[in-house]
Structure 1
């Protein structure tokens, strides 16, 4: 499992095996991260770009050059979609991270530092850009051992760090979906917000045994069911933790309506990691659960 961390700093100063450049299609240098990497790395990077990418690079693709004067060994260049210019297909943004990791594997890189691709001058909404980065890196099949998401802006760094913590919450919800897909329809969830408003909580239990249960709060960060769930923990592994903690669960397959409802819930939650809320101080759930505390976006309450 790849370790994923948030770093507050300058991408050009990272001592990773490879750093990722948010390049443009021409591959001849530019502004933002692209310009900073070319300036810090020196003319060798541009010379290799001309040699290796005579016709530029397609949006969503990636390639590499050596890193010149940078402390890294390689630069993996990828071209993010320009949201401001109408390139709003999230699959292109996800492709940048996936292809960059594939190139890193070709280089046998074990540590890779990414900027937040397309979230600068290309204007991708930051919350969705962070979610796309975390989810794609978590799902990638790669030999890279550690990935850093690097932000020079303190606010962006804090948002990434917070999203990594909240990704544990999402992985727990995805672990429940995995169990539903295996026929363990009895797993139920009740998510909410602590009275302080600082922490998200969720209770899991077996519909056939309401006294059973697991409780999680984001205040404990990765601690769950006597183990740890990271942002990169696969849903299958989370499902196994739940089964271990709730040994009475049986694959009855007897509540397809609830499982279908839950699939729809996660379809609303996953794109931006806006977690569901069914209880909180001063919250009325008669109109359904809220997707993202304070958002006003509702999802129907679960079937009886």
Structure 2
């Protein structure tokens, strides 16, 4: 199983088998992470780039060179989309992580260190860049044992760490959505914020069995429904955990409107790893549920 860890430091100093370079299409060096890697790794990297990528590299693709003078054995080069220049298709950003993992697998690497691709001079909104990184790494089949997300500054590191901690809650919502897709339309989800404002809470329940229910609080970390859920957990596996905890839940396929509503709620929350809130001390759900604590962004209430 792959582990995903946030690290604060210099990408060029990482001792992973491979590090990922946020390159540009020309593949001849540049600024930011790209320039730092070429400076630290020495001229051998540029010579290999010229030889291996005579026509450059397409946005969203990846390729490799040796690590030159770096501690890492290999450099996996990938070209992220330039958000500031209008390249705003998230699929291209996701492709960078997916292709980089595929190249690292082909090399036989067991550990890989990524920078936050496109979040620097390419101006991708950092929260969405973090979400794309975590979700794509989690959903990509790989033999890599350890993936590091490396942030140079403390603020970015804290944001990545917070997103990883929040990922358990996001995966629970995705697991519920997966059950709806399987026809378990009776599953209901009610999220809230604790009175202290410190923790997100959620109850998953079957209205046909009012005494049943799975209660989770973010204060419990990765413990959920008698199992372990984190950023690397597949939504299908989380769905199976929920089914084991609610054995009476049936696949009725009888509430497509609710299932579609909930799928839309999760889709609204996913891109920024925000969490929905149906109730809290600071508001009620008269105008709909909230996406993100105290955000003011509302999503319509569930259908009757």
TM-score range, shorter chain: over 0.9
Structure 1 unaligned spans of 5+: none
* TM-score, length basis structure 1: 0.98
Moved >4 Å (runs of 4+) = none
Give the match for residue 266 of structure 2: 266
Residue 154 (1) aligns with residue 154 (2): yes
| Residues 167-206 of structure 1 aligned to structure 2 (within 5 Å) | 167-206=167-206
Alpha-carbon offset, residue 202 of structure 1: 0.8
Structure 2 match to 1:296: 296
Report the 3-state secondary structure (helix = DSSP H, G, I; strand = E; otherwise coil) of the residue aligned with 2:210.
strand
Instruction: Provide the rounded CA distance (Å) in 2 between the counterparts of 1:255 and 1:192.
Output: 23
Partner of 1:139: 139
Cα distance between partner residues in 1 of 2:178 and 2:284: 29
Task: After TM superposition, give the deviation of residue 196 of structure 1 in Å.
Answer: 2.2
Q: CA RMSD in A?
A: 0.9
Structure 1 counterpart of 2:32: 32
For 1:234 and 1:242, the matched residues in 2 are separated by 13
Match of 2:51 in 1: 51
| 1:3 maps to 2:6 | no
Secondary structure in structure 2 of the residue aligned to 1:175: helix
1:91 and 2:114 matched: no
Query: Equivalent residue of 1:211, what SS?
Result: coil
| TM-score, scaled relative to structure 2 | 0.98
Bigger shift: residues 277-286 or 62-71: 277-286
Alpha-carbon deviation of 1:284?
2.0
Distance 1:75 1:43 in 2: 14
In structure 2, runs of 5+ residues without a counterpart are none
- Report what 2:237 is aligned to: 237
Match of 2:41 in 1: 41
Q: Secondary structure at the match of 2:155?
A: helix
- Aligned to 2:286, what secondary structure does the other structure show? helix
CA distance in 2, matches of 1:154, 1:103: 29
Aligned residues between the structures: 304
1:108-143 C-alpha deviation (Å, 9 max, x unpaired): 111100000000011100000000000111110111
